[in-house]
Amino acid sequence: MTTLMSWISYSDTGEAPHLPRAVHLVSDSKITWGSADKRWEAGRKIFATRTEPHLFGFCGDVVLPALILGQIVSAIDAEILFEPIATAQERQALIFETVKRAIASAVNTPTLDFTIHHLFRDQPWPNTSFRAWNMQFDATARTTQAHEVPIPTSTDIIGSFGSGKSAAKAHRDRWEQSDAAGLSRALLASFCDAIRSGDDPLSGGPPQLAALYTRDTPRQIGMVFDQGRYFNGLAVEMTQTLERIEWRNELGEVADPATRKASQGARRFGRPNALATE
């Protein structure tokens, strides 16, 4: 049923430390049918636009949100969903109306509850600001609601969702007791620990990661995890083209997809001693 998490990061170094540097969205890749025994561990759960600064993720039911988000991302990239001058709130409102119309066209479908999480960069550097919303569908009542999520003013979680939410928090709490507390990389590493642990039997497979930085459109980030290379949950073989995208490992280090180790010259992070044996 998914573990999905987003967070915002700030930097204590450089200019304007009060401004955010990025938002990240991370998910597991397991899709289940009724139980953990019926599963697929390469399901895409994170979607990024190519023409505007939007990120989307979902948890709960799979079919409707995955298909709807694919359509919404395509419409945004075709530049037909919004007017160019639309504000962030107007964009979100149009996305929400599109989600509701799509759900209304489903008739007698075996749909479960689901949540769509939407991240958007409202302003680029040097006035960087981000917004976040949740859109929640109640399958029993057949109702959909949306609300904006507050953005933290220091590096912290924006939202955490899904059947693995408690497991993710437990592992996050362990990292918060280490010398990596309060760092963006600790949030990613703790998430990967939670997925690997199997504490939530309905979450698993490789993590999938995307980010919105202070400029440009979102980056879908390749993940090196358990010696494999993954992109949106998909295992990929080594080719020279893999160097076209950003890669990270489970510790948040910039990774080389060829060696599956930290890139030459990249900052090394390592695990805190208290967590080294986990």
What are the tens digits of pLDDT across the range 101-127? Answer: 999 999 888 789 999 999 999 999 999
For residue 35, give the DSSP letter: S
Is the bond into 152 cis (omega within 30 degrees of 0)?
no
pLDDT of residue 14: 77
| CB neighbour list of residue 111: distance below 8 Å, 6 or more residues apart | 61, 63, 64, 137, 139
Chain segment 152-208, per-residue pLDDT in tens: 999 999 999 999 999 999 999 999 999 899 999 999 999 999 999 999 999 999 999
Q: What is the pLDDT of residues 18-67, one digit of tens each?
A: 999 999 999 999 999 988 899 999 999 999 999 999 999 999 999 999 99
User: Is the whole model's pTM more than 0.75, yes or no?
Assistant: yes
Q: At what angle do helices 184-197 and 165-176 cross, to 10 degrees?
A: 130
Q: How far is CA 68 from the centre of its chain?
A: 17
Domain map (residue ranges) of the chain: 3-275
The pLDDT mean for the chain works out to 95
Measured from the Cβ of residue 248, the count of other Cβ atoms closer than 10 Å reads: 24
Q: Out of 3.60.20.10, 3.40.720.10, 3.20.20.70, 3.40.50.10470, which CATH number does the structure's domain 3-275 have?
A: 3.60.20.10
Q: How far is CA 257 from CA 10, 190, 196, 201, 205, in A?
A: 27, 22, 20, 29, 18
Q: Six-digit token pair at 53?
A: 């600064």
